[in-house]
Amino acid sequence: MSAALTLIMPAWNAEKYIERSVRSVLGQSYRDLRLFVVDDGSTDATAAILARLAQEDPRLTPLTVPNGGPGRARNLALDRLGEETKYVMFIDADDVLLPDAAEKAVAAAEAGADLVLFGFSIMAIDGGRRDYCEPGQRLSREELGGALGRLYKANLLNQIWAKLFRAEHIREGHIRFPDYRWGEDRFFVFDCLERAENVSVLPDCLYRYIMHEGESLISKYYDRKFEVCLEIDRRMEDMCRSLGVTDERDFRYMFSKSVFSCLTTLYAPSCPLTAEEKRAAAKEIAENERVRRRCRDASGGFPVRALCAVLRSGDPALMLAAFRGVAWVGRTAPNLFTSIKHRK
């Protein structure tokens, strides 16, 4: 079937949550849409649930791919975009779109926006909620440079969801997700942002990111994470130059936080490295010229400045001790950890 708006959802072993997520899409007030759900090699009942839901609503198209991560799964759906598709949105299989999210995003695009950003809420296990949004605004290419740091620091450019993209740009640029297991969202967003002449920011929190029991606040260990951090920062530096950005403190802050995460995940349960291998990883970061250069004069409060000083010390043992402490705070004081991690 054809539709003006295509939504893409990767799913892996999502049987507990996927029906709610799918219904949040199919129940949108904007009806001219279709939904690709890409089953990324699930071994649970995800495929059966999708088959049942597709019988109820032909706007849902289940696809299947061998397990390769959400980026590859999304790419499969992007390869199936038809010429009739004007707009693209993404949603994760355990999250929820508010009923008028698509309607508001499409309206902004129809008014001339090439990229639409909107707010989101993180729904904690204990019932708490943390909102991420910025005032409503329409930004021309000339105005984007002045707002880019604020939008980046507000976490509105990091994730692939809570956005609407113009399909024409994706097709013309053959924009796809790189084969990473972390950070691939930002590359896709940056590629689309570089083509956007007008960006709309909606003030509403229209997306719900839902945390689940047993989910750690500390990211999983990924052996290429530092490599990806460096590439993301290089891309952002290039974008700052092209947009005439002169104040890079917010961008330094975001890079510093990414490096913090690289060190913190050395103490995640999923990290298989020995103590010696952790020291080698810390030494690589300590000796990196970009880390020494960019982790200076970052915006943010005292915790960020203190941890940046640890990075600039060049002492791998000090770095490991400090971030072992950060990981401990994440496990024992999750509210404090969240407050520091998401400080703007």
pLDDT tens per residue, range 267-309:
999 999 999 999 999 999 999 999 999 998 888 888 889 999 9
- Partners of residue 37 on adjacent β-strands: 9, 62
Give the domain ranges of the chain.
Answer: 5-210, 225-341
What sections of 265-315 are H helices per DSSP? 275-286, 289-294, 302-313
Q: What is the rounded average pLDDT of the residues 167-191?
A: 96
The DSSP code for 332 is H
What pLDDT score was predicted for residue 212? 82
As a whole number of angstroms, the distance between CA 344 and CA 149 comes to 11
What pLDDT score was predicted for residue 219? 80
Question: Burial level of 83, CB count in 10 A (0-12/13-18/19+)?
Answer: exposed
CB burial string 297-306: b at 16+ within 10 A, e below = ebbbeebbee
Give the model confidence (pLDDT) of 214-230 as tens digits: 655 568 899 999 999 99
As a whole number of angstroms, the distance between CA 245 and CA 315 comes to 32
What pLDDT score was predicted for residue 211? 87
What pLDDT score was predicted for residue 244? 94
Radius of gyration (Cα) for the chain, nearest Å? 20
Q: What's the token pair of residue 283?
A: 């030494």
Nearest CA-CA partner of 320 in 265, 269, 271, 270: 265
- Residue 89 pLDDT more than 70? yes
- Cα separations in angstroms, 122 against 127, 175, 342: 10, 28, 11
Q: Which CATH class is domain 5-210?
A: alpha beta
Residue with tokens 């002492």: 315
Q: What is the rounded average pLDDT of the residues 128-151?
A: 95
Q: The pTM is what?
A: 0.94
What pLDDT score was predicted for residue 339? 58
Q: What is the rounded average pLDDT of the residues 32-45?
A: 97
Cβ neighbors of 85 (< 8 A, separation 6 or more) are 2, 3, 4, 5, 6, 167
Nearest CA-CA partner of 220 in 69, 102, 58: 69
As a whole number of angstroms, the distance between CA 22 and CA 49 comes to 10
254: left (phi over 0), alpha (psi -120 to 50) or beta: alpha
What pLDDT score was predicted for residue 127? 82
Average pLDDT, the chain: 93
Percent of the chain at pLDDT > 90 equals: 86
- Cα separations in angstroms, 243 against 28, 154, 240, 330: 36, 19, 5, 36
What pLDDT score was predicted for residue 343? 57
As a whole number of angstroms, the distance between CA 259 and CA 227 comes to 10
Residues in the chain: 344
Could you tell me if 132 and 205 are in contact, meaning their C-beta atoms sit under 8 angstroms apart?
yes
Q: What is the rounded average pLDDT of the residues 236-262?
A: 94
What pLDDT score was predicted for residue 296? 87
Give the model confidence (pLDDT) of 52-75 as tens digits: 999 999 999 999 999 999 999 999
